[in-house]
Amino acid sequence: MRKTKYVTIEGDKETNRDVGKTFQITEMPASQAERWAFRVFQALARSGVDVPDHLAGSGMAGMAMMGLKTLANTPFHEAVDLLDEMFSCIKIVRDRSHPDMAFDMMEEDVEEVSTRAILRTEVFELHTGFSMAGVRQSLTSTPAIAPQD
């Protein structure tokens, strides 16, 4: 059974029109996720990014190691298709009392660019099991080692 998670956009309604909206993210089938990751690796290689051999054939697990930001290195025309495909596994929950009733999204369902970024991160994390926030936290919370005398 594919993993599913629900994401509710939080923040200030005065500065974010998407606050309170809930989205359902469902994991891509394994074959689709594998093809998606392979296309990312191909696009990266064509754009000159050094993709280690051991990661190139490792699908979403390899993407987890390289991180979502690597998509920024791909040519725009290739990245658009990859970014659009990420959104194919997101639906909107119009009635939060019935989260199991999710609908295909329409363009007007997401009004803020920041919401799109949140949803992309959530899609990536669902597929890879790799939390971007967790990595950031571990990097910032690691205590400095005091020099020894």
What are the structural domain ranges in the chain? 4-132
Output the six-digit token pair for 29: 């089938």
At 130 the pLDDT is: 62
CA distance 110 to 73: 25
* pLDDT tens profile 27-71: 999 899 888 888 887 887 787 777 666 666 666 666 655 656 667
Question: For the chain, how far is it from start to end, CA to CA, in angstroms?
Answer: 56
pTM (two decimals): 0.75
Q: How confident is the model at residue 137 (pLDDT cuts 50, 70, 90)?
A: very low
Residue 99, CB half-sphere, CA atoms under 13 Å: how many? 11
- For the segment 87-98, the average pLDDT, to the nearest whole number, is 94
At 129 the pLDDT is: 77
